[in-house]
Amino acid sequence: MVVRLTESKFELEDGRIYPHLVVLDDVSTVEEFQSIYDHWFAVFNQEFIESKVGRWLSAATHVAGVGCRL
């Protein structure tokens, strides 16, 4: 959960601080930023999962020497 937000960084409740890739011209509320953060976290998390599953299926198919159906 985001607990602090500035034009150059944001802080999570566990104390981790991350810089923004660019300085924000307009700093939204923590609640608004949390919504944006949650959205992009889900997008990147899904991409990571799909990437891992794709590599696993590719490796399993290669090792087995056969096609794989889900």
What per-residue confidence (pLDDT) applies to 27?
Answer: 92
Identity of the amino acid at 20: H
pLDDT at 49: 82
What pLDDT, on a 0 to 100 scale, did the predictor assign at position 59?
63
Q: Which residues contact 38 (CB under 8 A, 6 or more apart)?
A: none
Task: Answer whether 27's CB lies under 8 Å from 7's CB.
Answer: yes
> Which of 34 and 52 is assigned the larger pLDDT?
34
- pLDDT tens digits, one per residue of 10-31: 999 999 999 999 999 999 999 9
- Tally of CB atoms within 10 A around 17: 10
Q: Which residue in the block uniquely carries the two structure tokens 């300085």?
A: 23
End-to-end CA distance of the chain: 35
Domain ranges in the chain are 2-63
